[in-house]
Amino acid sequence: MRIGFLGYGKIGKAVAAHVIERGDEVAFVQDPFVAEAGGAPVVAESDEALLASTDLVVECAMASALKANFDAIIEHCDLLCFSLTAFADEAFLAHAREECARTGHTVFVPHGAILGLDGIADGSRIIESVSITTTKSPKSLGLNPEEYSEPTVVFEGSTRDACGAFPRNVNVHAAVALAGIGFDKTCSRIVADPSVSTNAHVISVKGEGIEFELHISSFTTGGVTGIYTPLSACGSVDRVLGGAAGLAFV
Ligand SMILES: NC(=O)c1ccc[n+]([C@@H]2O[C@H](COP(=O)([O-])OP(=O)(O)OC[C@H]3O[C@@H](n4cnc5c(N)ncnc54)[C@H](O)[C@@H]3O)[C@@H](O)[C@H]2O)c1
């Protein structure tokens, strides 16, 4: 299989190394700030010829890059994307669904930094309420650390509005909204806590006869991504590409 990368930072590099380890090929790396990617072709803009010979593109750049490159990618390939706050734009989500139907290609939504997205999607018909609280350091949220001496709620409202306010930090909220009851009904809370060096998420789901609460915490490695996400991204790529014999967790 040939896998292309839109974005070659923390997640992109980890997944590209995994792709090579699997015996698959890195078709291209598209990242305007990268000059070399282990011998794979590096492009600054989307390249139709490369996309036409690619099976899957992994987007791990940012929401604006996903939106800007979506049409070119989905015309030729399936897409596994991490910058899910892009889908809080209702028109873009509707367009993405239409383009998938037209082209027969799939947008894969990975569980990323959290767990249980499959379970939430499975139960979505009977789920009535979903809330997510994310606690990160002010720095990780892109806020000025000097302004926060104690845990402070910096956002409370719909996931749609959270995606607008913190587009780089609430991709997991967007993932849960997509899997569950949508961007307007899902409630988001973001806490800036100067004492933490983790990204922590508490997801509460209630519905007809069901109740789940998920607590997920992962140390940060600097930037927006915790140590768990690159591992989970490699697992998602394995599930998308398939081909391994043995036990499969679905
Ligand atoms: N869904 C999740 O659970 C989850 C978890 C962690 C991170 N994320 C998101 O995944 C994305 C990648 O995370 P990361 O930690 O690898 O980030 P990173 O900052 O380490 O890497 C991002 C890369 O994208 C590149 N880039 C910037 N603009 C670009 C453009 N226009 N076109 C192509 N490349 C561009 C940058 O040069 C950089 O190399 C971010 O949007 C992040 O918020 C999602």
For 201, other C-beta atoms within 10 Å of its C-beta total 23
CATH code of the domain in which 16 resides: 3.40.50.720
Give the 3-state secondary structure of 13-61: HHHHHHHHHHCCEEEEEECCCCCCCCCCCEECCCCHHHHHCCCEEEECC
Separation of CA 28 and ligand 1 centre (Å)? 16
Share the mean pLDDT of the chain.
Answer: 96
- Do 121 and 138 belong together in one domain? yes
Does the CB atom of residue 142 touch ligand 1 within 6 A? Answer: no
User: Is residue 57 included in any domain, yes or no?
Assistant: yes
CATH code of the domain in which 163 resides: 3.30.360.10
User: Is residue 249 included in any domain, yes or no?
Assistant: no
Does the CB atom of residue 87 touch ligand 1 within 6 A? Answer: no
User: Which residue has the CA at smallest separation from atom 18 of ligand 1?
Assistant: 9
Confidence of residue 221 (pLDDT cuts 50, 70, 90): confident
Instruction: Tell me the pLDDT tens digit for each residue of 1-13.
Output: 999 999 999 999 9
Please say if the pLDDT value at position 245 is more than 90: no
Confidence of residue 250 (pLDDT cuts 50, 70, 90): confident
pLDDT at position 226 is 79
CA neighbours closer than 13 Å in the CB half-sphere of residue 110 = 27
Task: Note down the domain range covering 207.
Answer: 117-224
- Do 145 and 178 belong together in one domain? yes
- Do 77 and 40 belong together in one domain? yes
- Do 148 and 194 belong together in one domain? yes
Separation of CA 207 and ligand 1 centre (Å)? 33
Instruction: Tell me the pLDDT tens digit for each residue of 23-74.
Output: 999 999 999 999 999 999 999 998 999 999 999 999 999 999 999 999 999 9
Q: Which residues are catalytic?
A: 201
- Do 96 and 185 belong together in one domain? no
- Do 236 and 217 belong together in one domain? no
| Residue 220 vs residue 67, higher pLDDT | 67
Please say if the pLDDT value at position 144 is more than 90: yes
- Do 172 and 197 belong together in one domain? yes
User: Is residue 190 included in any domain, yes or no?
Assistant: yes
Does the CB atom of residue 82 touch ligand 1 within 6 A? Answer: yes
Instruction: Tell me the pLDDT tens digit for each residue of 78-123.
Output: 999 999 999 999 999 999 999 999 999 999 999 999 999 999 999 9
- Do 144 and 77 belong together in one domain? no
Domain count, the chain: 2
Q: Output the six-digit token pair for 146.
A: 């000097």
Atom of ligand 1 nearest to the CA of 167: 43
User: Is residue 99 included in any domain, yes or no?
Assistant: yes
Separation of CA 208 and ligand 1 centre (Å)? 37
Confidence of residue 224 (pLDDT cuts 50, 70, 90): low
Q: Which of 5, 11, 64 to mutate to test the pocket of ligand 1 (most atoms within 8 A of CB)?
A: 11
Separation of CA 11 and ligand 1 centre (Å)? 7
pLDDT at position 220 is 83
Give the 3-state secondary structure of the chain: CEEEEECCCHHHHHHHHHHHHHCCEEEEEECCCCCCCCCCCEECCCCHHHHHCCCEEEECCCHHHHHHHHHHHHHHCEEEECCHHHHHCHHHHHHHHHHHHHHCCCEECCCCCCCCHHHHHHHHHHEEEEEEEEEECCCCCCCCHHHCCCCEEEEEEEHHHHHHHCCCCCHHHHHHHHHCCCCCCCEEEEEECCCCCEEEEEEEEEECCEEEEEEEEEEECCCCCECHHHHHHHHHHHHHHCCCCCCCCC
User: Is residue 234 included in any domain, yes or no?
Assistant: yes
Does the CB atom of residue 175 touch ligand 1 within 6 A? Answer: yes
Please say if the pLDDT value at position 142 is more than 80: yes
pLDDT mean over 154-164? 98
Please say if the pLDDT value at position 223 is more than 80: no
pLDDT at position 244 is 76
pLDDT mean over 159-182? 97
Instruction: Tell me the pLDDT tens digit for each residue of 225-241.
Output: 778 999 999 999 999 99
Please say if the pLDDT value at position 157 is more than 80: yes
- Do 58 and 102 belong together in one domain? yes
- Do 189 and 122 belong together in one domain? yes
Atom of ligand 1 nearest to the CA of 174: 1
Separation of CA 61 and ligand 1 centre (Å)? 3
